[in-house]
């Protein structure tokens, strides 16, 4: 009887550890995604060695991000007002 209880306890422990592992992976996935976006917008992922080109990439990507946010806000307001 104690062997069955030990086996059940081990299975329960394994399920808990697997669930915790998945939760940790999902939070690290979010952190990696936000880091990737930050590196993209700040042009740290680019291959440009010229400082002017890097700043051009930063400005262009920043303006693009602002434009996307503005369009999303406009769309939400448009849908709320009933078109």
In which residue are the tokens 């440009």 written? 48
Per-residue pLDDT at 83? 63
| DSSP for 42-61, written as a single string | TT-SS---SHHHHHHHHHHH
pLDDT tens digit string along 22-78?
776 666 777 888 888 888 888 777 677 788 888 888 899 899 999 999 999 999 999
H helices present in the chain, as ranges = 2-41, 51-81
pTM over 0.85: no
Dihedral of CA 62/65/69/70: which sign? positive
pLDDT over threshold 90, residue 3: no
Contact yes or no for 48/54 (Cβ under 8 A) = yes
């Amino acid at each position: 009887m104690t062997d069955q209880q030990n086996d059940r306890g081990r299975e329960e422990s394994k399920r808990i550890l697997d669930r915790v592992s998945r939760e940790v992976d999902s939070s690290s996935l979010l952190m990696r995604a936000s880091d990737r976006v930050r590196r993209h917008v700040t042009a740290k992922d680019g291959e440009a060695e010229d400082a002017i080109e890097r700043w051009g990439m930063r400005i262009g990507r920043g303006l693009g991000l602002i434009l996307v946010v503005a369009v999303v806000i406009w769309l939400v307001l448009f849908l709320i007002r009933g078109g």
